[in-house]
Amino acid sequence: MPAVPAGEPGRNGDAPEAVRAKSIPEAAVARLAVYLRVLSGMSEQGATTVSSEELSQAAGVNSAKLRKDLSYLGSYGTRGVGYEVGVLVSQIERILGLTRQHKVAVVGIGNLGHALANYGGFPGRGFPVEALFDLDADLIGVPVGGLPVSHMDDIPRICAERGISIGVIATPPTAAQSVCDRLVAGGVQCILNFAPVVLQVPAHIEVRKVDLAVELQILSFHVARRADDAAGNQGNSGLPGAVVPAENGNGRRNGTGPDGGRGMVVRS
Amino acid sequence: MPAVPAGEPGRNGDAPEAVRAKSIPEAAVARLAVYLRVLSGMSEQGATTVSSEELSQAAGVNSAKLRKDLSYLGSYGTRGVGYEVGVLVSQIERILGLTRQHKVAVVGIGNLGHALANYGGFPGRGFPVEALFDLDADLIGVPVGGLPVSHMDDIPRICAERGISIGVIATPPTAAQSVCDRLVAGGVQCILNFAPVVLQVPAHIEVRKVDLAVELQILSFHVARRADDAAGNQGNSGLPGAVVPAENGNGRRNGTGPDGGRGMVVRS
DNA sequence: CGATGTGAACATTTTCACAGCA
DNA sequence: TGCTGTGAAAATGTTCACATCG
């Protein structure tokens, strides 16, 4: 995605496809991460091969979609048999760029930030937390999860020094944009934003947001809609029928989407 | 969405459009929640009207999309002028079902659950936390955020008694499915899942997931892709050019989508 | 005149359905 | 025979562009 100077993002008449090669769909990337987790679990349980049917069941998607997604990796399956778990894991890790580490900085050591910091290195390794920041004087210097908290003013310097590539914003909404700017100044390339604000960033910075309020409101919408359906409710709607994978609609895009609530979190 | 008994979700040749009326796109619903937050902020600052241009800027989408989204509410704008903030707020709240309260139960009072419980009522009111659950004997009975923690075995009974409609799962992944089943048994209609597992639920239950690992891995993918682009980097890519709203791709679907890593989360 | 509301063009994503290979 | 890989169709979602109306 060639960065667009300003104004409306990506506004070009026809765009002669520029340089972009094959490029794998955003939606597929998100699912690959899920497949990876499922595959890791299977691997730990000793499985060596899986069929698209099995894997798709476990991941909660249909098999056609799964195969299409995996096809973006290349052809690593064996017709009539299935896929080798180990191969799939490697290939997905390769595509997702998990073969190298991505240093993380957590800003805002409140409830959520604290939880994240205590994580002591994010999911499945590969995302070591290497810097913590806050404004609270009482927190500066205090080790959280083994790492001392630094002052937000030092974000640019410290991020640059330590080669942080991902910044996690877990501050109150009012501080978020300022923190974001400093992270960018520090050379951070991606931001995971838990604050309920729409961040303004240069085109080359990737932002993803997690917003509790938005999630709850979307659920609220569905509850409401269900109530409306109180009409032609033929067939089997509320009947405790078969149980199937959630298969909901979290295919979030990132950008401007849902933001929301207040901030907290974490768990493993 | 008529519930599909079992097997592959929604597998029907052509589906004669059944009963579904107009129905507003999932993607739009997520954005409406964002508009609502932005509008609330504007309202607090005394703004009484907004143009699609202003609002879209603040929300990080383009004006056409914003107008299309708002059109699902009905026609509440004034040509040549814009929209009345108050009207928009009311209409969005109506569509999102925010005119009534949705009682929330939080399961798993660890780092995340604790943070959520302390929230003392979720974002912008409308989502009061009315029950807390955990397995830890040391926690049972202890008030967290003013509410005593109950045992997970009592999930079905208590949820039913208190009329909980939304369950938040903040437990370790191993307990998630079991908790989910009990929430469903207790009559909960929607689930917000912070555990990195694909939940199996009856078709009439709405599930949304928040997965830190998946988010980080998606960001990792973009870092990696950026590295690859190290080729024909003409134009202005890394140049600190204009700053624009994030507008990323968090348009998550929910269902079977991205799940992910280990579990953590949240904010404010 | 200026901004909304929207049909139609376009783009992306999902699903189908089946050829092809182990 | 059975399952992968994929072209093509269908569905969804986004953007354009402009008629319309306050």
3-class SS at A43? helix
Please report, rounded to whole angstroms, the spatial distance between the CA atom of protein residue A82 and the C1' atom of nucleotide C20.
15
B49 vs B83: CA distance, rounded Å: 5
3-class SS at B123? coil
Give whole-number Cα distances, A158 to A149, A177, A266, in Å: 11, 18, 25
Would you call A219 and B61 a contact, using CB atoms and an 8 Å cutoff?
A: no
| Backbone phi and psi for residue B225, each to the nearest 5 degrees, phi listed first | -65, -35
B152 vs B143: CA distance, rounded Å: 15
A127 vs B15: CA distance, rounded Å: 45
**CATH 3.40.50.720, chain B: domain bounds:** 104-212
Architecture of domain A104-212: 3-Layer(aba) Sandwich (3.40)
Would you call A170 and B267 a contact, using CB atoms and an 8 Å cutoff?
A: yes
Over residues B241-253, the pLDDT tens digits come to: 567 677 554 544 4
- B2, B213, B232 ranked by CB distance to A237: nearest: B2
Our CA-based measurement puts residue A10 at a distance from the nearest CA of chain B, in whole angstroms, of: 10
Q: Mean of the per-residue pLDDT values for chain B? A: 82
Amino acid B10: pLDDT: 30
Amino acid B93: pLDDT: 97
**CATH 1.10.10.10, chain B: domain bounds:** 26-94
Which residues are in reach of strand C, CB within 7 A? A 14, 25-28, 61-62, 64-65, 67-68, 78-81, 251; B 8-11, 50-53, 63-64, 67-68, 70-71, 75-83, 249, 253
Task: State the angle between helix axes of A52-59 and A63-71 in degrees (0 to 180), rounded to the nearest 10.
Answer: 100
Amino acid B243: pLDDT: 72
Question: A241: pLDDT confidence band, cut at 50, 70 and 90?
Answer: low
Q: For the domain bounded by A26-94, which CATH number is listed?
A: 1.10.10.10
Provide the sign of the torsion angle of the four alpha carbons A55, A215, B179, B203, taken in this order: negative
What average pLDDT does this structure show over A4-26?
45
Choose from A63-67, A229-233, B221-225 the range with maximum mean pLDDT. Answer: A63-67
Amino acid A11: pLDDT: 30
A67 vs A183: CA distance, rounded Å: 38
